[in-house]
Amino acid sequence: MAAGLDSFVNHTVSIITSDGRNFIGTLKGYDQTINLILDESHERVYSTTTGVEQVMLGLHIIRGDNVALVGQVDEDIDNRLNLANMKAEPLNPVTH
Partner 1 sequence: MLPLSLLRTAQNHPMLVELKNGETYNGHLVSCDNWMNINLREVICTSRDGDKFWRMPECYIRGSTIKYLRIPDEVIDMVKEETLVKNKQMRDQKGGRGGQNQRNRPAARGNFGNRPNKPQGGGQQKLFQKNKMPKQ
List of residues contacting partner 1 (CB under 8 A): 9-10, 17, 19, 28-31, 35-37, 39-40, 43, 45, 55-63, 65-66
CA distance 83 to 9: 25
**Residue number with CB closer to partner 1 (49 or 82):** 49
CA distance 54 to 48: 15
Find out whether 10 and 29 touch, Cβ atoms under 8 Å: no
**Residue number with CB closer to partner 1 (64 or 82):** 64
Cβ 39 to partner 1 shortest distance, Å:
6
Cβ 26 to partner 1 shortest distance, Å:
9
Furthest-apart CA atoms within the chain: distance in Å: 43
Cβ 62 to partner 1 shortest distance, Å:
5
Find out whether 85 and 46 touch, Cβ atoms under 8 Å: no
**Residue number with CB closer to partner 1 (57 or 73):** 57
